[in-house]
């Protein structure tokens, strides 16, 4: 009988909470109101109405973007911690922050940039531990991060540009997340991580071609583990753009590849690729909305909220730096509604 219920009963509480919280996610209308607000305070007011505790205006000082985003990240982490019966699910949020912090701090060390502003505050690994590991004392660093650090250093030794650190750490991160998703046995989560990998590889594929990079360089930037093997993508690398979609037949990304290839052939910007990638990702995330009970609603919400925070950061930074509404809108993608 318990098998009959399985994960459904374990995640019933989480599903209930998420169903309410989904109604508080920023919809297109609210994002538009933020963009159209005459100033930053107006945008913060919209956020405060949507339940962003950190966006409340006080007389003392205006909250910073980092404070607002960090406060919401903390709330998301608390939600997952309180509702998931499997603590390993937490890793899907915190591991991203840990890997991000590793990247930021390593790049800062090797390229002498101050890292403080860009670090995620709620990773599970103390920043001092990462700092010491970068200096060579890796004893306290979890093995998955130590492996990423080693790979990033090795890649950077060969080609000393910050991009190599991003590529090496991302590769280790997705490898780690994929293994974690598989060990949790939640197919929806595996599908989402695989889709992230595929979309990243497709982006690398088209951007590398646009920049006229060598095939080997593009191959090095690709991450294994998605539904499309990097080898299959690389096999299409030197084909004419119109043949790329045919080369990806049966993967589910043909339409995306066709549009991106058309933009590539016409010498147009690849913004359409980004938009289609986001749309594909949301299509995957939205599947959770049709699952009545189980881990999927919680996982879908995690991905949706992290995406929302990216949008919020983008809009607020745009407002603060005085970007025009059109430019901010241009940089935004579809919100999870």
Which residue of 8, 67, 86, 166 would you call a contact of another protein, by CB under 8 A?
8
- The answer for 141, left when phi > 0, alpha when psi is -120 to 50, beta otherwise, is beta
Binding segment for another protein among 5-13, 137-145, 206-214, 274-282 (CB under 8 A)?
A: 5-13
User: Alpha helix (H) ranges present in 84-186?
Assistant: 91-111, 127-135, 143-158, 162-184
Binding segment for another protein among 133-141, 159-167, 247-255, 292-300 (CB under 8 A)?
A: 292-300
Nearer to another protein, 4 or 266 (CB): 4
Binding segment for another protein among 9-17, 105-113, 123-131, 153-161 (CB under 8 A)?
A: 9-17
Beta carbon of residue 5, minimum distance to another protein (angstroms, whole number): 7
Nearer to another protein, 172 or 308 (CB): 308
Burial classification of residue 17, based on how many CB atoms lie within 10 Å of its CB (0-12 exposed, 13-18 middle, 19 or more buried): middle
Residue tagged 């043909």 (tokens): 254
Residue tagged 């100033």 (tokens): 39
CA distance 308 to 115: 23
CA distance 234 to 6: 41
Phi (first) and psi of residue 214, to 5 degrees: -65, 155
Which residue of 3, 6, 7, 20 would you call a contact of another protein, by CB under 8 A?
20
Q: By CB under 8 A, what part of segment 213-272 binds another protein? A: none
Binding segment for another protein among 13-21, 110-118, 203-211, 213-221 (CB under 8 A)?
A: 13-21
The CB density around residue 156, as the number of other CB atoms within 10 Å, is 20
Using CB under 8 A as the binding rule, whether residue 12 contacts another protein is answered as yes
Residues in contact with another protein by CB under 8 A are: 1, 4-5, 8-9, 12-23, 83, 292-293, 297
């Amino acid at each position: 009988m318990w098998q009959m219920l399985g994960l459904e009963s374990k995640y019933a509480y989480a599903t209930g909470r998420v169903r309410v919280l989904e109604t508080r996610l920023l919809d297109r209308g609210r994002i538009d109101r933020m963009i159209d607000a005459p100033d930053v305070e107006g945008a913060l007011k919209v956020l405060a109405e949507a339940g962003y505790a950190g966006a409340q205006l006080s007389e003392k000082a205006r909250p910073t973007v980092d404070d607002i985003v960090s406060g919401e990240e903390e709330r998301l982490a608390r939600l997952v911690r309180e509702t998931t019966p499997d603590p390993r699910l937490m890793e899907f949020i915190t591991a991203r922050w840990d890997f991000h912090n590793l990247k930021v701090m390593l790049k800062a060390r090797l390229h002498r940039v101050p890292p403080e502003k860009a670090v995620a505050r709620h990773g599970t690994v103390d920043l001092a531990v990462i700092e010491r590991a970068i200096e060579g004392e890796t004893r306290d660093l979890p093995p998955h991060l130590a492996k990423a650090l080693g790979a990033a250093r090795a890649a950077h030794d060969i080609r000393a540009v910050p991009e190599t650190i991003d590529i090496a750490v991302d590769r280790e991160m997705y490898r780690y997340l994929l293994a974690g998703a598989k060990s949790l046995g939640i197919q929806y989560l595996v599908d989402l991580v695989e889709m992230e990998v595929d979309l990243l590889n497709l982006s690398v594929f088209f951007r590398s071609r646009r920049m006229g990079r060598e095939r080997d360089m593009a191959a090095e930037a690709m991450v294994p583990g998605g539904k499309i093997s990097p080898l299959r993508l690389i096999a299409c690398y030197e084909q004419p753009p119109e043949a790329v979609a045919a080369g990806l037949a049966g993967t589910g990304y043909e339409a995306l590849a066709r549009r991106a290839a058309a933009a590539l052939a016409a010498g147009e910007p690849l913004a359409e690729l980004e938009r289609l990638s986001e749309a594909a990702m949301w299509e995957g995330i939205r599947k959770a909305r049709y699952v009545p009970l189980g881990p999927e609603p919680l996982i879908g919400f995690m991905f949706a909220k992290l995406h929302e925070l990216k949008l919020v950061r983008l809009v607020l930074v745009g407002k603060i730096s005085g970007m025009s509404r059109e430019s901010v809108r241009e940089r935004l993608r579809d919100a999870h509604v």
